Amino acid sequence: NAGVTQTPKFRILKIGQSMTLQCTQDMNHNYMYWYRQDPGMGLKLIYYSVGAGITDKGEVPNGYNVSRSTTEDFPLRLELAAPSQTSVYFCASSSGGTSGGLGTQYFGPGTRLLVL
């Protein structure tokens, strides 16, 4: 049971380039989330998904896109990288329902992205 895995661990992008951050969980969780963490700012929710085929915007969605074709995978797409997207990105998952985690989220190790 690997939990939540993310790739790559670190990436440098040039302005205007695109990339996909991968996230996979093996806990059969319905809910998945993407956050960005900036120094002194805590975590900001980018997008989340409540199940395969269903996604919704979080607090800071501009410049990002997501898809959820399977329960396990929740990739985050950056289409035109900008310096403001330099950050550490975390994927998380949780179960739902009254018998589930009631919001307890399990996090991946993160992807550090530098846009120059």
Partner 1 sequence: AQSVAQPEDQVNVAEGNPLTVKCTYSVSGNPYLFWYVQYPNRGLQFLLKYITGDNLVKGSYGFEAEFNKSQTSFHLKKPSALVSDSALYFCAVRSRGTSGAGSYQLTFGKGTKLSVIP
Site for partner 1 in 46-105 (CB under 8 A): 48, 50, 54, 56, 58, 90, 92, 94, 96, 102-105
The amino acid sitting at 101 is G
**Residue 102 CB, nearest approach to partner 1 (Å):** 6
Q: In sequence order, what DSSP letters do the residues of 43-102 get, joined into one string? A: EEEEEEEEETTEEEE-S--TTEEE--SSSSB--EEESS--GGG-EEEEEEEE--STTTTT
Q: 13 vs 47, which CB is nearer to partner 1? A: 47
Q: Which residues pair with 32 in a beta bridge?
A: 49, 93
Judged by CB, which is closer to partner 1: 8, or 16?
8
Q: Which pair of structure tokens corresponds to residue 63?
A: 């410049």
Among 19, 27, 45, 52, binds partner 1 (CB under 8 A): 45
d(CA 115, CA 5): 22
- Taking CB under 8 A as the criterion, the residue among 1, 42, 62, 99 binding partner 1 is 42
In the complex with partner 1, which residue's Cβ is closer, 14 or 98? Answer: 98
Give the C-alpha separation, 83 to 36, whole Å: 14
Residues that bind partner 1 (CB under 8 A): 4, 31, 33, 40-43, 45, 48, 50, 54, 56, 58, 90, 92, 94, 96, 102-110
